Amino acid sequence: MPKLYIPVLAGTTRDQRKSIFAARLVAEIGNTFDDVEAEVIDPLDYNFPGDGNDPEGKDPRYTAVTERAQGFFIVTPEYNHGYPGSLKRMLDSELKNYIHKPVAFAGVSSGPWGGVRAIEQLVGTVREMGMVSTFTDMNFPKVGQLFDDDGTLQDEAYREHVKAAWTELIWMSKVLKAGRDGEIGGA
């Protein structure tokens, strides 16, 4: 079976962002699974003019990423109890390419809750986009202490939590791929 291509969507373009360290770790651990090809998708590398999902508001490179994706892992920081506008803008630029695909979440914050409120807001958004969310969230609280200035993880126990999130996402990706491929009938 070919590898599952699962982009790890980084949630912010902020210059001093720390959540990019979490996104890189999530992708690194994803790539330790034999059946996964994970890649960080950094909104800084893409251009989404305007708003919405009209042709002129898309980035064709992101369109290609979402077409190829068999699942998504979103790594979002928490901004004012929500998720950043740059993540919403990126997500909004596509629609049909998300349908019947799974999504896992990692939340990031400088405080003790690890972005739980940003994840809760995302659940409603991804549901409207046709995605199916996993229940094995990953949380990175106190991100300033969890990673050093070079982005090196300071608590190895987190690797196991990330693996658990991937295990569920991989299972869901295989199940939903079988459904999209017409192997289990119905829709």
Which positions lie near ligand FMN, rule CB under 6 A? 12, 14, 17-19, 77-81, 108-111, 113, 143
Q: What distance in Å separates the CA atoms of residue 126 and residue 111, rounded to the nearest whole number? A: 25
Name the residue nearer to ligand FMN (CB basis): 50 or 111. 111
Name the residue nearer to ligand FMN (CB basis): 33 or 113. 113
Judged by phi (left if over 0) then psi (alpha if -120 to 50, else beta), residue 80 lies in left
CB 86 within 8 A of CB 44: no
CB 143 within 8 A of CB 108: yes
Name the residue nearer to ligand FMN (CB basis): 58 or 73. 73
Name the residue nearer to ligand FMN (CB basis): 25 or 172. 25
Q: What distance in Å separates the CA atoms of residue 39 and residue 34, rounded to the nearest whole number? A: 14
| Distance in Å, CB of 68 to ligand FMN, minimum | 26
| Distance in Å, CB of 127 to ligand FMN, minimum | 22
Single out the residue of 40, 44, 31 nearest to residue 65, CA to CA.
Answer: 40
| Distance in Å, CB of 116 to ligand FMN, minimum | 9
| Distance in Å, CB of 44 to ligand FMN, minimum | 12
